[in-house]
Amino acid sequence: MRRLQLTWIMILACTSFFAQNGFDSTSIEILPKSRLTITGDTNINEFLCEFNTALISKNKQIKFYEGESSICFEDALLRLENTGFDCGNKAINKDFHTLIQTDKYPEISLELKKITFEGKNRAVADVVLSIAGINKDYKVPVEIVSKNSPYFKGLLKLNIDDFNLEPPKKFFGMVVVKKEIEINFNLAVLN
């Protein structure tokens, strides 16, 4: 309950900044050299599902308000078509899509709400992750690497129970998917 209250306070604070000071708009592009993977384990093996970043729309319009040590965002939504994930073979792909309920919920979305800077190359991103129709708030540590275009690297650990995900049973329940999965991202952005 406390977490929900803090989330609403953050949203209201960002909204009041937008209302009082206005906000800017910019276009960003997530470059094809970006990488996004979901990894997990079973009691037998580990799996890695990589997203085809070429499927991400080229230009995204986002709105933002820049504060002293943070940036609040509006419309900073990344939609990932579930069919864009490749887990390496047909059987694992099928199990993965069963797990995330692709038939009923064809996409995973990640909405960036706020970035709070904690140094030159470190920040914490407040995001809303939506999987299988359930939204959850997360704070994700992010490393910012500036090269020709900035890279945003991070790792989000989550429990599949938080999204009411039920892994498929294999070999009469002898193969068990562990509850924790990781979303690894290395996003190259051009603005």
Domain boundaries, the chain: 2-190
pLDDT at position 14 is 52
The structure's pTM equals 0.82
pLDDT at position 120 is 86
pLDDT in tens, 109-158: 999 999 999 988 999 999 999 999 999 999 999 999 986 778 899 999 99
CA distance linking residue 127 with residue 143, whole number of Å: 15
pLDDT at position 171 is 52
pLDDT at position 167 is 77
- Average pLDDT of the residues in 95-109: 94
pLDDT in tens, 2-28: 444 434 444 444 544 444 457 899 888
pLDDT at position 173 is 54
CATH number attached to the domain at 2-190: 2.40.128.110
Contacts 24+ apart (CB under 8 A), 6-9: 7/137
pLDDT in tens, 25-74: 988 889 888 999 999 887 778 889 999 998 987 788 899 999 999 999 99
pLDDT at position 150 is 86
Is 26 in contact with 64 (CB distance < 8 Å)? Answer: yes
pLDDT at position 154 is 96
Q: Which amino acid is at 76?
A: A
DSSP annotation string for 141-179: EEEEEESSSEEEEEEEEEEGGGGT--PPPBTTTTB-B-S
Closest CA to 51 of 105, 95, 107: 107
Number of other residues whose CB lies within 10 A of the CB of residue 123 = 21
